[in-house]
């Protein structure tokens, strides 16, 4: 009898704890479900519409399900839980709402003045009305705000909002302030008319007009009244303002927050969005919800794309064509054939000039670069999602027509190489006197075996495959190159250290596309202003110095004559291809753009004649895609 | 009784010393990694920023905010002071979220996944082991080898196999996440059903792997006990078989309870594989992400939870042993 009691007790405890745990699990989902977060909304008037919009939404979906034919699902943009919705804060980890992509700002919730279009290299007006204009000496840039532009609380977007956005940025040192503070002196507004004054050098010339234009496409404008509210509630303290969660944000874009937790973030369309005015889009974006499940890694996101749970996937997918050619899935990319996407950047191997063997021997640098089998990198690591260096010969430019037209191809023809030129590399090394004198199969410099490492972060598989091919090239020309794959947190600590001697050849990508490119990228490749800078996230990670290049680089931003600019870029290309301080291994899209057309269709494609860049329907002018989407059924 | 009190006072003192050492290691070990999380957080914000001076300013601001520019001992004392207030600071990798916020939203997923899985695995394993020892025949020859085979499959192998077979090939289970991609958490049957279906694969991937280990332990303990002198003596006395089995299993259970308690104590780290492979939210994957990002505050807090849980469980075990096994109690009294 006693034993039965014990048995019963044990089973009750066990079942009870399991049930409690299960219930707690469900409960916890509820606990993390923030719903409208009314407590975060202060009493200010402008916050009211936010609450309304967010609170009314759940009522529309009583079952808590997002209707499939009203929701556009994403993968590959949001990793980890959203930290904040504050457009003037920092580190929001809120990729769907606040993200400055390397080819255009994401304008789903907060909007920029202009949208960048990397296909045409142009700025298309968003909050701004018509084109901007410079005065003759590029010290003042003027534009007008659209009359129709409104905030979510119904008030008009004005020039004062632009001024307040810049001023608070400089005051607290947020992304806007730290990125543009050195190039913009001040912004003034008269109603809807705005003038940006370039920061000037001692001789009265603008510091860099290219970055002033970057401000137009790269800064989300926040509402002045809301900025004041945030300042007041944080007592003007910069760190508190930067870290304010901004849950009561006022937005001007077509979407706003609907739901966010550890597993997903969902935006809902604002049906009062000003952009449906004829002066902008003329209609609302088609999907009512924008949802992004937070996947643990790329394979999980890809599996969801294949299962039709994701419509737009911003992830590198190895052999993406197999998805439709072999698996018969309704998945497509911007181009039907390789390279499938628009490549805007070029992952590059940087030589560490802190190592004398590399700093002293341009022949060694060029020989390794000549010997690398780029076709193999592009075919294997990139699965042909990059033009080859025979298709687009190497230079300082990305493969877009706009940038390719910026240098004289014939003038640098003899300096370019397509790779796998083992004989040429060997001849170059022999000629430079870098020979194998002790017969161990490896060449020496000053009596010591040349031994280098090729480094990239662990788990970045396409880069790792590229580094293996670089190492193999070394073997063929008698230069020992071993691969090294540290974890990311260690890698980033070392490669931004200007004095590091641990990594000899290491990978990083320069800037992709923006109004300040290709100048910004060229400065990253050749400009010495970043040499010796601590925590160097800015450029020239190999610490290469060339005074001639510096002079030309300085002149370009202040030059307006197209022919002169072309000459200067040609000269810089010559220096780059002769000196080889780094060498690009492939071209690469800044955003991958694979779409599953089982629910939605009419995504941008190369032959649709619409000229919408494949930027995931979210970035820069790529957002235009949202207005043309159609349901399959 | 006095010996009993003395025994536990001594135990508590040792636990406190262990706790202090563990906390110290929790603080210093992550900081020995050759990685600079302040640089990483700066890079997130300023990668590609053309103005190098502005980038340096950002770096200095974060170094000041996180206190990484202070001497390490000063940082340690601050950490101790804040820890006792329950404040683990701000996470590096999920800045500006506080560590407490991250843990409180992740811990329930782990507890709900691990606790039932550990208990079910333990119960099934012990029943199977006991039956194998007592009934032998088919149990011992067929079922036990199968469970031993399963338990020898590495946790990640089991998780990947279940994922490929049931989610990708047969498509009868979801691929990833804690609930369906088209759901928003709410008290509806559809949502609960979705949570349960997403629960299955991670749950069984843990249970299947743990059954075998428990079964082997229980089987050998039971066989040992079944051949013990007291069993033979009881049989000579004509004590009923059921009664004898009761005694045998009570004795055989003792090490099994230790195993159960330690599994519960370390469950936070144990959930790592299942959580990562099934993209299941929880503290295991949070800890993994924290380690790969050198997120000191988050690493220290998660490892502290494991430390505290193991210490509490070990302490409780000592107490419970006394009740389960009078021999242990006698030993504690003697002490």
The pTM is what? 0.83
Cα separation, A124 vs A277, in Å, equals 16
> What pLDDT tens digit does each residue of chain B (335 aa) get?
666 778 788 888 988 999 999 999 989 988 888 888 888 888 888 887 888 888 898 899 889 888 888 999 999 999 999 888 888 888 888 887 889 988 988 888 888 888 899 899 889 888 888 888 877 777 777 777 787 788 788 888 888 899 889 887 888 888 778 888 888 888 888 888 888 989 989 899 888 888 888 888 888 888 888 888 888 898 888 888 888 888 887 788 878 888 888 888 777 766 678 888 887 888 888 888 888 888 889 999 988 888 888 888 888 888 877 777 777 777 766 65
Name the A residues in 467-496 with CB < 8 Å from any B CB.
Answer: 487-490, 492-493, 496
Among partner residues A28, A91, A179, which is closest to B51 by beta-carbon distance? A179
**And the tokens for A125?**
């007006």
* First-residue to last-residue Cα distance in chain B: 10
Cα separation, A85 vs A95, in Å, equals 10
Q: Is A437 on the interface with B (CB under 8 A)?
A: no
Cα separation, B30 vs B28, in Å, equals 6
Cα separation, B331 vs A1, in Å, equals 29
Cα–Cα distances in angstroms (integers) from residue B223 to residues A439, B122, B179, B249, B257, in the given order: 68, 18, 44, 10, 17
Chain B: nearest CA to A32, how far in angstroms? 6
- Residue A157 DSSP symbol: P
Cα separation, A276 vs A183, in Å, equals 34
Report helix, strand or coil for A207: coil
**Could you tell me if A520 and A556 are in contact, meaning their C-beta atoms sit under 8 angstroms apart?**
no
A–B interface: beta-carbon pairs under 8 A:
233
Nearest CA in chain A to B50: A538
**Could you tell me if A467 and A456 are in contact, meaning their C-beta atoms sit under 8 angstroms apart?**
yes
Mutate to test the interface with A, among B36, B90, B176, B183 (most CBs of A within 10 A): B176
Among partner residues B96, B116, B192, which is closest to A18 by beta-carbon distance? B116
pLDDT at B52: 86
**And the tokens for A339?**
């390279």
pLDDT at A392: 96
Among partner residues B49, B57, B246, which is closest to A538 by beta-carbon distance? B49
Report helix, strand or coil for A114: strand
Looking at beta carbons, which residues of chain A come within 8 Å of B49? 178-179, 537-538
Burial A41-64 (b: 16+ CB within 10 A, else e): beebebbebbbebbeebbeebeeb
Cα separation, B183 vs B194, in Å, equals 8
Nearest CA in chain A to B192: A26
Chain A: nearest CA to B40, how far in angstroms? 7
CA nearest to A411, candidates A395, A431, A428, A390 = A395
Cα separation, B130 vs A336, in Å, equals 62
Nearest CA in chain A to B183: A65
Task: Output the CA torsion A459→A461→A466→A472 (10° steps).
Answer: 80
Cα separation, A252 vs A108, in Å, equals 9
pLDDT at A2: 41
For residue B295, is it left (φ>0), alpha (ψ between -120 and 50) or beta?
beta
Cα separation, A150 vs A252, in Å, equals 6
Distance, C-alpha A431 to centroid of its chain: 42
Q: Is B292 on the interface with A (CB under 8 A)?
A: yes
pLDDT at A96: 92
Looking at beta carbons, which residues of chain B come within 8 Å of A13? none
**Could you tell me if A519 and A373 are in contact, meaning their C-beta atoms sit under 8 angstroms apart?**
no
Q: How many CB atoms lie within 10 A of CB A16?
A: 10
Low-confidence ranges of chain A (pLDDT < 70): 1-63, 101-102
Cα separation, A105 vs A217, in Å, equals 7
B296: CB partners within 8 A, 6+ apart: B30, B31, B37, B92
Could you report the predicted ipTM of this complex, rounded to two decimals?
0.78
């Amino acid at each position: 009898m006693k034993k039965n009691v014990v048995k019963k007790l044990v089973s009750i405890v066990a079942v009870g704890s399991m049930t409690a745990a299960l219930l707690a699990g469900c409960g916890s989902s509820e606990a993390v479900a923030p719903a409208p977060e009314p407590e975060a909304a202060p009493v200010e008037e402008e916050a009211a519409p936010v609450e309304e919009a967010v609170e009314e939404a759940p009522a529309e979906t009583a079952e808590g399900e997002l209707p499939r034919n009203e929701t556009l699902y994403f993968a590959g943009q949001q990793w980890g839980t959203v930290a904040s919705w504050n457009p003037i804060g920092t580190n929001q980890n809120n990729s769907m709402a606040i993200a400055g992509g390397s080819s255009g700002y994401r304008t789903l919730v907060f909007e920029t003045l202009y949208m960048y279009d990397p296909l045409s290299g142009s700025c298309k007006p968003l909050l701004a009305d018509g084109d901007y204009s410079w005065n003759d000496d590029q010290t003042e840039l003027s534009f007008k705000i659209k009359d129709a532009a409104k905030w979510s609380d119904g008030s008009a977007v004005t020039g004062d909002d632009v001024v307040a956005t810049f001023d608070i940025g400089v005051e607290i040192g947020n992304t806007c302030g730290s990125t543009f503070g050195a190039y913009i002196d001040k912004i003034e507004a008269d109603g809807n008319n705005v003038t940006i004054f370039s920061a000037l050098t001692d001789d009265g010339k603008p510091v860099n007009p290219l970055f002033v234009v970057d401000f137009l496409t790269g800064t989300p404008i926040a509402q002045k009244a809301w900025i004041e509210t945030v300042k007041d509630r944080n007592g003007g303290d910069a760190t508190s303002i930067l870290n304010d969660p901004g849950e009561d944000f006022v937005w001007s874009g077509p979407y706003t927050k609907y739901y966010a937790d550890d597993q997903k973030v969902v935006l809902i369309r604002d049906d009062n969005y000003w952009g449906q005015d004829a002066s902008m889009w003329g209609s609302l974006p088609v999907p009512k919800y924008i949802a992004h499940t937070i996947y643990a890694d790329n394979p999980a996101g890809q599996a969801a794309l294949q299962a039709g749970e994701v419509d737009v996937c911003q992830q590198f997918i190895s052999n993406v064509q197999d998805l439709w050619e072999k698996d018969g899935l309704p998945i497509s990319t911007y181009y039907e054939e390789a390279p499938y996407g628009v490549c805007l950047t070029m992952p590059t191997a940087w030589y560490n000039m802190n190592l004398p063997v590399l700093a002293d021997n341009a022949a060694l640098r060029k020989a390794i670069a000549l010997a690398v089998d780029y076709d193999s990198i592009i075919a294997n690591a990139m699965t042909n999602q990059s033009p080859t260096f025979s298709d687009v010969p190497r230079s300082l430019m990305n493969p877009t027509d706009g940038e390719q037209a910026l240098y004289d191809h014939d003038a640098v023809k003899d300096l370019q190489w397509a790779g796998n030129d083992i004989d040429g590399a060997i001849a170059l090394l022999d000629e430079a006197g870098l020979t194998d004198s002790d017969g161990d199969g490896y060449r020496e410099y000053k009596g010591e075996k040349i031994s280098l490492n090729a480094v990239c972060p662990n788990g970045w598989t396409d880069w790792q495959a590229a580094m293996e091919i670089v190492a193999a090239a070394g073997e063929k020309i008698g230069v020992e190159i071993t691969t090294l794959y540290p974890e990311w947190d260690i890698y980033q600590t070392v490669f931004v250290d200007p004095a590091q001697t641990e990594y000899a050849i290491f990978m990083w990508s320069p800037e992709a596309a923006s109004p300040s490119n290709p100048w910004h990228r060229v400065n990253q490749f050749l400009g010495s202003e970043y040499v010796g800078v601590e925590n160097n996230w800015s450029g020239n990670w190999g610490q290469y110095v060339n005074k001639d290049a510096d002079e030309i680089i300085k002149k370009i931003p202040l030059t307006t004559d197209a022919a002169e600019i072309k000459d200067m870029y040609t000269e810089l290309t010559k220096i780059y291809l002769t000196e080889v301080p780094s060498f690009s291994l492939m071209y690469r899209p800044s955003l991958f753009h694979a779409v599953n057309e089982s629910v939605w269709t009419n995504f941008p494609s190369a032959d649709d004649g619409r000229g919408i860049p494949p930027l995931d329907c979210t970035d820069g002018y790529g957002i235009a895609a949202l207005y043309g989407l159609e349901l399959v059924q | 009784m006095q010996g009993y009190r003395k025994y536990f006072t001594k135990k508590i003192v040792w636990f406190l010393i262990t706790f202090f050492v563990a906390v110290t290691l929790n603080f210093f070990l992550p900081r020995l990694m050759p990685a600079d999380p302040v640089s990483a957080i700066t890079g997130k914000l300023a990668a590609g920023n053309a103005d190098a001076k502005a980038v340096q300013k950002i770096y200095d601001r974060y170094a000041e905010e996180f206190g990484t520019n202070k001497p390490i001992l000063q940082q340690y004392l601050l950490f101790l002071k804040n820890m006792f207030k329950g404040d683990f600071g701000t996470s590096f990798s999920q800045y500006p979220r506080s560590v407490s916020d991250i843990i409180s939203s992740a811990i329930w997923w782990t507890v709900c996944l691990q606790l039932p899985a550990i208990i079910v695995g333990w119960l099934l394993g012990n029943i199977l082991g006991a039956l194998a020892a007592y009934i032998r025949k088919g149990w011992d020859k067929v079922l036990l080898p199968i469970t031993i085979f399963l338990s020898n499959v590495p946790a990640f192998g089991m998780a990947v196999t279940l994922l490929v077979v049931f989610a990708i090939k047969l498509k009868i289970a979801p691929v990833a996440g804690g609930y369906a991609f088209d759901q928003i958490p709410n008290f509806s049957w559809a949502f609960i059903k979705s949570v349960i279906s997403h629960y299955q694969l991670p749950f069984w991937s843990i249970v299947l792997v743990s059954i075998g280990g428990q079964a082997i332990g229980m089987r050998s303990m039971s066989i040992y006990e079944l051949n013990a002198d007291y069993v033979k003596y009881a049989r000579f006395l004509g004590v009923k078989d059921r009664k004898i089995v009761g005694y045998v299993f009570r004795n055989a259970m003792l090490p099994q309870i230790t195993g159960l308690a330690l599994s519960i104590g370390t469950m936070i780290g144990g959930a790592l594989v299942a959580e990562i492979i099934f993209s299941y939210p929880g503290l295991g994957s949070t800890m993994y992400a924290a380690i790969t990002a050198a997120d000191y505050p988050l690493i220290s807090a998660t490892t502290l939870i494991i430390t505290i849980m193991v210490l509490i469980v070990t302490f409780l075990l000592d107490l419970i042993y006394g009740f389960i096994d009078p021999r242990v109690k006698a030993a504690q009294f003697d002490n």
